[in-house]
Structure 1
Amino acid sequence: MKSNLLMNFTVNKENNTVNVKREFNAPLSNVWSAWTEAAILDQWWAPAPWKSRTKSMDFKEGGRRLYAMVGPEGEEHWAIADFTSISPKTNFKYKDAFSDSEGNLNTDFPRSNWDVTFSEEGDHTFVDIVIKHEKLSDLEAIIQMGFKEGFTIAMEGLDEIFAKQA
């Protein structure tokens, strides 16, 4: 299902950031829940046919989500999100990283800082995401891995969840 909702994806190589602005046909409270509750995150966070599986999540400042991206053959890629700042229904920030199944950092891959802002306009919600990388080469590595394509598919999976709620 192709979405006609706003999806802007821009890469800024000057300051090593990716900016994604995405519109959802859902109220702010539903969108906030979808981004901050493990049970809903697991339904859309991985691009199909991959699945997301949360092992643990403590959504608070200083808390962490430990999860796996599980592939169609059962392969697992583990990651963590360390929450650094939360302003309910408005914004949250976290440090993203690849890890092992126990949450130990995989230093072969770069960490990135995610800054996720929510705003409501009428019956639609906009999510504005800024992902900052330490080095340009880190940013380029993520783009090469197919981040834009994968994230676009995941966003469309989230649209389907909201369509069912409507």
Structure 2
Amino acid sequence: MPVTSVDKDLERLTMTIVADFPVAVRRLWDAYVDPRQIEKFWGPPEWPATFARHDVFPGGRSEYYMTGPDGSRSGGYWEFLSVTEGSSFEILDGFTREDGLPDPDMPTMRATFAFEETDSGARLTTTTHFTSLDELERLIDMGMEEGTRSAMAQIDDVLADLRSFAADRATAAQLLSDTQVRISRVLRGTPRQVWEAHHDPELLRLWNFGPDGWALTACELASAPGERNRFEFSPQDGAEGETFALTGELLESEPPHREVFTETMEGIDGPPAHNEQTLTPVEGGTLMSLVITYANKEMRDAILGTGMTDGMEAGYRRLESEVLSHA
């Protein structure tokens, strides 16, 4: 059981939870900044969490929901006020309604997560600040302490699972819902290097063309939200297939952390996919997390069935060997 103490200070309106772990601080930190890992322990076992967004940088945001045994959902969000890489972060922690918007009828708290080295491993001290005694007592009555203890009892198994989140694992697709999929890969470079490799046309031509035998033959990059991207791909040297292009609008850009854009195949009718890409520093490199939202399950399954993930993996291998290894 990692939780070693819980202190409720009714005068300062805080609740402080201390937990100790037999791992390095870096390993514990990564478990909290990697959406694939934190969702395995953030909710109690009977209310598992799904993180549809997890942007760990100042000004970033996380959005998650926990699903109960009867299929009902309880949603929440974090707004990152500050992040000190590998050491601490501070958030505003709130609840959301069914439509995903903040719930004004529920409390919003400020919480700090401080990570430090100990003689036996790592310690996490989480301090939650409440705005009133009524708010503190309300959340305690809702089972906040018991829920936290139950959730954190799962973290040891996650920390011990080095293989599932290792830097040498291939690109993987994880279904989040009937319309969403998360594509993940740790790339051996810094977030800035990975970002530049996605936004320099000359670098893109070295790696971003899917399976071997193809080439990126045209590249138009949006420089600001509201502008459009266009990438044209063509078979080379007798490779099978026909030239096609992917187009879309840039919606958000926060280099080198987050980018949001639409994407569709040129000439194909139908709503575009909505892509949210986040770059997070982790041990071994940068975690690339791409959450794609499709119009429906059929479109999601059809696109995944084309071998998209394998094509992305081929590109990422080239990105590491042709670009990041020379950076």
TM range (shorter): over 0.9
Separation in structure 2 between the aligned mates of residue 105 and residue 132 of structure 1, nearest angstrom: 18
Partner of 1:38: 35
C-alpha spacing 1:110/1:120, structure 2 compared with 1 (3 Å): same
Partner of 2:86: 89
Which shifted more, 54-63 or 124-133? 54-63
CA positional deviation for 1:35: 1.2
CA positional deviation for 1:123: 4.4
Show CA shifts across 1:98-132 (max 9, x none).
01355421011110001110001234100011100
Partner of 2:70: 73
Separation in structure 1 between the aligned mates of residue 63 and residue 53 of structure 2, nearest angstrom: 5
Out of 23, 39, 51, the position equivalent to 1:26 is 23
Alignment of 1:133-144 (within 5 A): 133-144=130-141
Q: Aligned letter for 1:76?
A: R
Higher gyration radius (CA)? 2
Alignment of 1:11-160 (within 5 A): 11-100=8-97, 103-160=100-157
* Equivalent position SS for 1:138: helix
With normalisation by structure 1, the TM-score equals: 0.92
C-alpha spacing 1:162/1:35, structure 2 compared with 1 (3 Å): same
Instruction: Could you tell me which runs of 5 or more consecutive residues in structure 2 were left unpaired when the two chains were aligned.
Output: 164-327
With normalisation by structure 2, the TM-score equals: 0.48
Separation in structure 2 between the aligned mates of residue 31 and residue 87 of structure 1, nearest angstrom: 14
Q: Aligned letter for 1:10?
A: D
Q: Aligned letter for 2:94?
A: A
Separation in structure 1 between the aligned mates of residue 22 and residue 104 of structure 2, nearest angstrom: 38
* Contact 2:111/2:126, CA 8 A, preserved across alignment: yes
Asked if residue 162 in structure 1 is aligned to residue 146 in structure 2, the reply is no
Where in structure 1 do 4 or more consecutive aligned residues deviate above 6 Å?
A: none
C-alpha spacing 1:69/1:142, structure 2 compared with 1 (3 Å): same
Separation in structure 2 between the aligned mates of residue 158 and residue 123 of structure 1, nearest angstrom: 17
* Contact 1:7/1:23, CA 8 A, preserved across alignment: yes
Which shifted more, 135-144 or 101-110? 101-110
Q: Aligned letter for 1:17?
A: T
CA positional deviation for 1:164: 3.9
Instruction: Could you tell me which runs of 5 or more consecutive residues in structure 1 were left unpaired when the two chains were aligned.
Output: none
Q: Aligned letter for 2:37?
A: I
Identity %: 24
Aligned length: 163
The structure, 1 or 2, with the larger RCO (C-alpha pairs under 8 Å, 6+ apart) is 1
* Equivalent position SS for 2:39: helix
* Contact 1:25/1:162, CA 8 A, preserved across alignment: no
Separation in structure 1 between the aligned mates of residue 29 and residue 65 of structure 2, nearest angstrom: 21
CA positional deviation for 1:159: 1.6
Show CA shifts across 1:38-84 (max 9, x none).
11011110011110001112111111000001111111011000000
